[in-house]
Structure 1
């Protein structure tokens, strides 16, 4: 039997670099007998692809969440005449009769009972059906919807609150307009809005659903929104919506495959039975990531990380400033794209303020990530949030000594073969980095153990094999 799988992504593959995209690309390329459909949610329609999907990806259905006025801009397989008919037939009377009862149920789940995943799933399917007949844009921007939204959210929100929340709802649910083909299995790569087509396929057709969690989506949204001190009403509404979506992903998934045991505590806390969960660690090819001779003599600390607040590059810069006092020839290199320009400017300002412009290089591009590790004496990870990062297991496979934040599943990777430090503690990070720079034999011992652990536990072929087994089991 030929397997067909729908993979859904959000803000990652194939439009962005990073660990999730690396994982997606490896899974697709190493399963040539599967007929894949790829549905990426992207932030806007103008983002260029960073990856070229392999030939076994038979169809790609890109959905931009922002940067468009209405779904007709990305729906290519529906004739214009049909889209025009939808607009023409969408009247306030139809909206009152057909949409408002569904909208009321949707708002009840979001605002009053985010744990009612069964109702949420049924409403999502009913909304899909509605938008196959009536126009999405005309409906959401109608007076009946505005009046219902205003009357339901009666906790004295401002006009700005109401407008912003309804705008978010419009964009985040735009994926309901996509028609996906029938497949053997659906695979959501986050417990996020990209899981909605998987949920509706499960409710509508009984299609088995697999969910892989890399970072814990709900936790990361809490961290992101904590940066904004205003807009309390809007933040609460968005968190309620995200919680409802996340819990629905957990509820409808037949199997949840987090990339580390750390993630399971969030999944269980939000109602997932333990028997649904099967941890599948990320894997790398030890023939590709292998020890290579160092070319230069000066001490070198390497990080492979995008410039993003979650990677806490500011702590790395502070570590470099401390190390410079005792190891003035040491260099720090951060290989990775700039994901947040405002944060990048903050990092540049801090680098200048601490006098380490000549010590720390930021946002360095690299075509071959193995080359990034070549000259490293120590590989450093200062993130405040991680799941099971490729940067750690890649460095381990290259026999590098790793100093990393004790977050997420990092400790599961580095057990017995690396150094863990409390996040944001630049003094502790600097102490451990200095200890390794001063002790080549310790670096060698840790690196040797690390590569052996990768070969035993974190091989790419092992990881791919587990996913293939799950696909076959779910489709049987």
Structure 2
């Protein structure tokens, strides 16, 4: 089959976020063809280039999200009226009071079977803007126009609008209009044609938000089914950003991203979170529980095989922490816990392996080094000589591999107060090492019963758990063996690829045939499509196929590479 892989700031760019699992997926499914539709996040990312692509990637089309040149399209009177109507409807849906499209109060509450009126209004306006963009050759200038700001202002001042929207100031309206212009840039692309996304059998969006928007339009206009994968819930990320924005800006942008996420969840055949923590967020944000299929990210177990098969190679007096250095990792609590550990086990050492994340991380790393020097001053006598501090800060990528770093320690420690999917813990599990972790994010789901879990921000509990494992080598060995077995069963590349391959087959099997199969001469192949594929029924999920009156000229600038 032919899969359209939709990404934002990830694959196939060298420094793309989350590009590794996409690359492993594409390479692992060599029997299929892939068309990659990618959004870039910056000029530096584009200049860095792409990763080497396997032969099954037949085409790559890219477009920047970080910039958009004025398309120079001048709307006539009818087009201006259409834009004002559709944009006004979109704004009205955002200004309306919350309904079923917004997150439910109880994460266990299932999503509604049919959309709420305002959600349907949002969807109709979104599709209307997309049709207008293709009919007129672009939407960028219109979204930046005074007409857009005026339509947004009318919606905010209309009866029934939310209080925060009614109190929006001019600068708030300008900020919201600018954000909507960036978010709606995918509507102006020329990807939604029969020779574009219409040529694929299914769209696989590697993230929500902008990456999923082309999949929504391909589904609506071309009947292409959509699979959505979210290893980080985009709506949750939006809620955690812009804390200092004015209330009107936060309210309107939250409404936009909430309705876009709800529409994506509603239209997708399946939604695949990377863990139960993300799955709960998706349910809270409107995803139907019946569509959810948890697919864990896969790690290559080969580099960890040697360490996993020789647990006796670990230093029985060494603790290892690995990851990005930032305040959320709470290394301060770890250092205080290590002070208590040293009081009980003086020979113990702590290796902190990781680089800082941005300027904030660099400042935090400096603070942690200063704290370590204060807690563990160099001693002229005792188990360590002068200048031999028991805490070492090491940059990643030094001598040895990540497997070597995990293998050197008897216990791997995670001290985070906020955590998504703890890849570092899985690496330690593949090495057969016992772990001590804080109860955050998906940690308990990953660890199961193969490690010790303590409350976050509790140095005493962290220290007691580490000491108990340092003093009991047999228990460490049992937990390490169980952890390796669990990781090999659940968190390998092979299980990830197998899960997605099965979902691809399920989706295609329940999707009606949209185009005839042709032979080498271009003639229809008799009996190429089974008769059952044209029989309506619940298993086929037939959707009316709208045929838009799109113009074929003046596409928005984008790049395409055919392989």
Using structure 1 for the length normalisation, give the TM-score.
0.84
- Tell me if 1:138 matches 2:141: yes
In structure 2, distance between residues paired with 1:178 and 1:311: 40
Give the Å deviation of 1:467.
0.8
The one of 74, 82, 89 equivalent to 1:89 is: 74
Contact 2:341 2:348 in 1 (8 A): no
Distance verdict in 2 for CA 1:173–1:158, change over 3 Å:
same
User: Equivalent residue of 1:271, what SS?
Assistant: coil
Which aligned pairs between 1:66-105 and structure 2 lie closer than 5 A? Answer: 66=66, 68=67, 70-71=68-69, 87-90=72-75, 93=77, 96-105=80-89
Gaps of 5+ in 1: 73-82
Is this contact kept in 2: 1:322–1:430, CA < 8 A?
Answer: yes
SS where residue 302 of structure 2 aligns?
Answer: coil
| Residue of structure 1 equivalent to 2:39 | 41
Q: CA deviation at 1:321?
A: 5.4
The 1:141–1:273 alpha-carbon spacing in structure 2 relative to 1, beyond 3 Å, is: closer
Equivalent runs, 1:268-287 vs 2, <5 Å:
268-287=283-302
For residues 327 and 127 of structure 2, the distance between their equivalents in structure 1, rounded to whole angstroms, comes to 36
1-side partners of 2:327 and 2:351: how far apart? 18
2:217 is aligned with 1:215: no
State the secondary structure of the residue aligned to 2:230.
coil
Which of 68, 93, 112 in structure 2 is aligned with 1:109? 93
Which residue matches 2:168? 157
**Cα offsets for 1:108-148 (capped at 9, x unmatched):** 23332572444434433332222232443321222211222
Give the deviation of 1:15 after TM superposition. 4.2
Do the aligned partners of 2:79 and 2:132 also contact (CA within 8 Å) in 1? no
- Equivalent pairs counted in the alignment come to 455
Instruction: Tell me which moved more, 422-431 or 363-372.
Output: 363-372
Q: How many Å apart are 1:373 and its aligned residue?
A: 2.1
| Residue 364 of structure 2 corresponds to residue 346 of structure 1 | yes
Determine the structure 1 residue equivalent to 2:54: 54
- Answering whether residue 396 of structure 2 is matched by residue 364 of structure 1, we say yes
Larger Rg: 2
Do 1:383 and 1:405's aligned partners in 2 also have CA atoms closer than 8 Å?
yes
Match of 1:425 among 458, 469, 473: 458
SS of the aligned residue for 2:44 comes to coil
CA contact (8 A) 2:266 2:288 kept: no
- Counterpart of 1:28? 26
* Unaligned residue ranges in structure 2 (runs of 5+): 102-117, 158-165, 377-388, 510-563
Quote the Cα distance in structure 2 between the aligned partners of 1:396 and 1:279: 20
Q: TM-score with structure 2 length normalisation? A: 0.72
- Following the alignment from structure 1 to structure 2, what is the Cα–Cα distance between the partners of residues 145 and 57? 39
2:528 maps to none
Whole-angstrom distance in 1 between the partners of 2:335 and 2:237:
23
Match of 1:332?
Answer: 351
Residue 79 of structure 1 corresponds to none
Query: Aligned partners of 1:388, 1:301: CA distance in 2, in Å?
Result: 21
Q: Work out which of the residue numbers 109, 119, 122 in structure 2 matches 1:120.
A: 122
Name the CA distance, whole Å, in 1 between partners of 2:297 and 2:370: 37
Deviation of 1:396 after TM superposition, in Å, equals 0.9
**CA displacement at 1:279 relative to structure 2:** 1.9
Distance verdict in 2 for CA 1:247–1:423, change over 3 Å: farther
Larger relative contact order (C-alpha < 8 A, sep ≥ 6)?
A: 2
Does structure 2 retain, via aligned residues, the 8 Å contact 1:307–1:340? no
- Are the structure 2 counterparts of residues 350 and 393 from structure 1 closer, same or farther at C-alpha, using a change threshold of 3 Å? closer
Give the conservation status (yes or no) of the 8 Å contact 1:214–1:259. yes
Residue 77 of structure 1 corresponds to: none
CA distance in 2 between counterparts of 1:38 and 1:384 reads 36
Distance of aligned partners of 1:135 and 1:462 in 2 relative to their CA distance in 1, 3 Å threshold? closer
RMSD: 3.1
SS at match of 2:409: coil
* Distance (whole Å) between structure 2 residues aligned to residue 137 and residue 268 of structure 1: 33
Name the structure 1 match of 2:254. 239
Aligned runs of 1:400-419 on 2, under 5 Å? 400-419=433-452
Q: Cα deviations across residues 171-227 of structure 1 (Å, max 9, x unaligned)?
A: 1222223333221111122232211111111111221111122133323332344xx
